[in-house]
Structure 1
């Protein structure tokens, strides 16, 4: 990804009329740039093993997997043996820099619903752990999206059953911790099982966080991290969200047959996890860029969860109060937040056009509705991986005239919210944020400019 254009001074932004949405897009670019693997990996790389005794095997999964693999290839000593396999999302492998030798194989698979390519990659990754010794090093590259990309169903579950459960989870409104708890217990490779397969080798996990709280056991369902959740927890999630599963799945969870390795297990002895990029770091980078131009900048939190549209309404209330000179924030300012919201897909009457859109777009729908055309407020929400759900946009943007322009086109925000159709609302307005894959993933980025 190219470096962002230098930001225009706040005086020009506020008084001369630079496009505020361009300014917010520049802040998004700053946030993404802060999370790129090549900028963050060097300080976290372990010492290579003695080549006369051991080898370095690289395994990994996630939307940032291709970029993480290239960063390791660029930074790893050229005279130190290096090989391995990493799986990333279709279209998310960055162009290979000229002259960089390929020592780590990168393959692509489906996200957010797993496919046969992801299953094959997981089988190959597990097979590569055979024959490891205590003199070997396994470098695991883990980032968000790995839960779907690294799919290896538990014994007795077909890929089709796993796909169906995944689709139900995505539409249920379950948060990421709940979804990944269930995914761990229906897998032969997640929830610490990959680490167990690597024994007795030393395992170092480099991870980019896309989850609230930066818990490495949740990121990509923690394939190399001990799991404190239980089969009983997974069963409770099935029941809470009315996820339909075959009887044998429910029976296995009830019996504890698919329990994961727990904290304190000897399989994790000597293992380390190193967080190389987090949502908070990206928000701080964007805040610093705004402050450098004379704007006030406030970070609400990097752990915001909840229904996307409702989170949008709360943000709108803060922006409206700030625009009116009320509340704790002083304008002109930028208000930033991150985290991972959810979208509960609502059943629609027969014949209703299928809605399109993801978390960031639905946040913007709720925000626009609640802002009520408030003057002096602009906003942008986008996923830092460049893809909002399964569409081709990263997110969307909102301006004071968004609802007026929509009305001219005969669109009502309420109707689009009802059918979860953010894409269908913002595309005719020209207000989709389209970046293409960014090759990193620190989850949601939201920014509101209030002048």
Structure 2
């Protein structure tokens, strides 16, 4: 198989996974019964603006209003629903402003009204209202430290919930006495609604002490105001109104769509899991071993085949050496280093939101000649990997995957093609 053919196959598979989670098709069938009164739409996340646009289009005969916040560059017109943009992965002043406007939109509700919460990945940073006694700067410092610590997304969002005035179900309390329905596009391993955007409308059974343990586990400096909040928890009243949570797009569903595309292309798919975690470079070592087993022995599946996986790996920055790159490009550069140009194996990995970490690429692709082409450009792949500079490596050889914002987010999709 030629590199060009393999690249086309892998891009088709990745695109099919992304398309399966687009808000336009998945929102209308998930909508609840129309309310007797108003429908107030609130939301936060990279997919929230597109979700809001789908709601506005589906319900032209309902009194719809509301406020939704998404990442800079991810906004789309949503008719009667106000769209704001804020920073990700570290909150900015607009994140705080958006949270306050969302809270304000929930005033004066009645039992005949419906609050429709549109929640997707990225909402933790995009809607940030610090808990009483904290400042936005306090939360920003903790977030930056967590991002470089190696903590997984569940641990990060556990901390964020307990430093927030709206996360961990607190926003749901403000929706009373209206009916509350949360439509969630999940980007977290395990699809626990509490973890998506730190669960602003979902009851939380963790404790501030659990959040403190996460910070201590990763040796993250704890400012005194943060320590005070985590050691003097406020009593949160129980949710008494009607609330419902609906998962409308998930990593597992995206992988199933990718597998269907693999079969359509005449290849055999094998889904390794939708919730794979761990250090990006170490996950690549495991995946390389499975790919070699498929190629040499036909186990655990006979080729030609495609190994599919999802989830969210981590990148722990060591010795302060942080180049440009995200978990997907780091995974791929590590995979290339392990495979050492082995023939007949290609791979793609990318974030379904179109942004791998903080860069402008969704991810990248590798082929048997990835290391050779790097050497021809004067690049040492191992050096770039150790410096967490995978984006720069793939940019230099022209193998980045550039989709732009996809307006959805069901976490990472990895596909390894074995001919």
Could you say which TM-score interval applies, normalised by the shorter chain?
over 0.9
Contact 2:111/2:177 (8 A) holds in 1: yes
Contact 1:309/1:363 (8 A) holds in 2: yes
Partner secondary structure for residue 314 of structure 1:
helix
Q: Name the count of aligned residue pairs.
A: 419
Matches for 1:294-309 after TM superposition, within 5 Å:
294-309=266-281
CA–CA distance in 2 between the matches of 1:143 and 1:441? 7
Contact 1:58/1:82 (8 A) holds in 2: yes
The residue number in structure 1 matching 2:70 is 88
Shift in Å, 1:248: 2.4
Q: 1:271-315 CA distances to partner (integer Å, 9 max, x unpaired)?
A: 100111111111111111110221111110001011111111111
2:254 is the counterpart of 1:282: yes
The residue number in structure 1 matching 2:16 is 30
2:407 is the counterpart of 1:439: yes
CA–CA distance in 1 between the matches of 2:221 and 2:236? 22
Shift in Å, 1:18: 5.1
Flag structure 1 segments of 5+ consecutive residues without an equivalent.
1-13
2:45 is the counterpart of 1:72: no
Contact 1:230/1:260 (8 A) holds in 2: no
The residue number in structure 2 matching 1:171 is 148
Shift in Å, 1:203: 0.3
Shift in Å, 1:243: 1.4
Partner secondary structure for residue 204 of structure 2:
coil
2:195 is the counterpart of 1:218: yes
Shift in Å, 1:64: 0.1
Give the TM-score normalised by the residue count of structure 1.
Answer: 0.90
Contact 2:3/2:367 (8 A) holds in 1: no
| Moved segments of 4+, more than 3 Å | none
Partner secondary structure for residue 266 of structure 1:
coil
CA–CA distance in 2 between the matches of 1:371 and 1:164? 38
Kindly report the root-mean-square deviation, in angstroms, between the aligned alpha carbons of the 2 structures. Answer: 1.4
The residue number in structure 2 matching 1:418 is 386
Q: 1:382-411 CA distances to partner (integer Å, 9 max, x unpaired)?
A: 000000011010001110011111122222
Change (3 A) 1:331 1:432: same
Contact 1:35/1:282 (8 A) holds in 2: yes
Give the TM-score normalised by the residue count of structure 2.
Answer: 0.97
The residue number in structure 2 matching 1:7 is none
The residue number in structure 1 matching 2:350 is 382
Contact 1:227/1:260 (8 A) holds in 2: no
